[in-house]
Amino acid sequence: MSSPVLSAKLNPEVTIEEVLRNGTYGDDAIKRFLNLNSYGSEEIISEAHQAIQDILNGKTPKRNRGATDLYIQTIVDFASDGEDLELKEFQALMDFARGHLEIAAFNMIRKAQMDATLLSMAQAKMGAGQEGQDMGGGKGGGGDKNAMVVKTGAIPGGEKEMAAAANPQI
């Protein structure tokens, strides 16, 4: 948009949605683009839609070990938006989605760990040779050396252990 006055008067999220809608993108893709809190791909959405179809056809799909919040949200959105669903179908979809909460949480924690490790490695690489630079702890660097502590592997304690890793004072 070339007019700053016009840009200031428009809701950016709605404007982006309309631009995408006028392009070649479908509703699922637009939802994914606009949702800043979930990660995933067309593949995970496709897997969720396959599970939905299986449930609607009376089959019991396998649990998806790669489930993310996007996988669950796709199923919940379908169930919530499905005006012609019977109560039994709605409940089956919601139960199936609920059964993936722990898997999705674990997968998201694992992704956060990998992201933190990559960030830490990138910071270490960038910081090589920059000893003594202020790292948030005042003059001379230092900072909170435990601020980026992330445990690797399975997280038996779940959220509490992640919180303890992120903030040693808990």
pLDDT digits (tens, 9 = 90+) for 107-136: 989 988 988 998 888 888 887 655 545 444
Contact by Cβ (8 Å): 71, 40: yes
- Look at residue 87 and tell me whether its pLDDT is greater than 80: yes
pLDDT band for position 91 (cuts 50, 70, 90): very high
Rounded CA gap, 140 and 138, in Å?
A: 6
What span, in angstroms and rounded, lies between the C-alpha atoms of 170 and 166?
Answer: 9
CA–CA gap between residue 77 and residue 6 (Å, rounded): 33
- Domains in the chain: boundaries: 1-34, 39-99, 102-123+142-170
Q: Which residues contact 149 (CB under 8 A, 6 or more apart)?
A: 165, 166, 168
Structure tokens at 52: 């939905």
DSSP 3-state of 124: helix
Give the largest CA-CA distance in the chain.
Answer: 65
Mean pLDDT of 144-162: 44
Rg (C-alpha) for the chain, rounded Å, is 22
User: What is d(CA 8, CA 123) in angstroms, rounded to the nearest whole number?
Assistant: 36
Q: pLDDT tens digit string along 7-65?
A: 778 787 777 778 878 888 777 777 767 766 555 577 888 899 999 999 999 999 999 99
Residue for token pair 């683009």: 33
Q: Is the pTM of this model over 0.75?
A: no
